[in-house]
Amino acid sequence: MTTEEWSLRLAQMDDAEHLPAIERAAGQLFSGDPDLTNIDFDDVWTAAEHRQFIRRGHCLVAAAGELIVGFLTSQPFRRELHIWEMSVHPDFQQCGIGAGLLRACIIDANNSGFSAITLTTFRDVPWNRPFYQKIGFTVVEDMAAHPRLADEISEEANNGLPRDRRCGMIYFIG
């Protein structure tokens, strides 16, 4: 099987067992960043935590054959769908899986009647803000207009992420 052979679908409860390992592996791509030396890249969501999100019906997985290789975990907040985590195993990156997950999320959000999709990410990491902008997300410049995102960035800073390198992003549906 080549890394180009993959598919997307809604996450199922059994998929949750595979997601922590993918998140952990993808997180290692940040381990050489000097601003992140205090971050424990092994501290990822548990399968039980992933199952809580999967129950809400807006989580997606990417599979290469029977192997789960990526996921997107999101949660509704009123009329917005917030992406908490999107991870693709490093062995399957650069294959379009991340873009596929985002496009499927956009379709899901549109079909479910959401007005926007939000997320927080690094401003300066090529596979973060610039990647999301290629899909159509824009940086939220006025964080006062999006207090939920502002609170999320504050919480991330409290957990050791450099506030000045973080941003909120939004994709408007429609």
1 in a structural domain: no
Q: How many domains does the chain have?
A: 1
CATH number at residue 15: 3.40.630.30
| Overall pTM surpassing 0.85 (yes/no) | yes
User: What pLDDT is attached to residue 38?
Assistant: 75
Q: Give the residue numbers spanning the domain of 42.
A: 7-172
User: What pLDDT is attached to residue 37?
Assistant: 74
Across 53-89, b (16+ Cβ under 10 Å) vs e yields bbeeebbbbbbbeeebbbbbbbeeeeebbbbbbbbbb
Residue closest to 166 by CA, chosen among 135, 143, 147, 134: 143
User: What pLDDT is attached to residue 98?
Assistant: 95
121 in a structural domain: yes
User: What pLDDT is attached to residue 1?
Assistant: 42
58-69 confidence digits (pLDDT tens): 899 999 999 999
46 in a structural domain: yes
82 in a structural domain: yes
User: What pLDDT is attached to residue 48?
Assistant: 96
Residues of the chain with pLDDT under 50: 1-2
2 in a structural domain: no
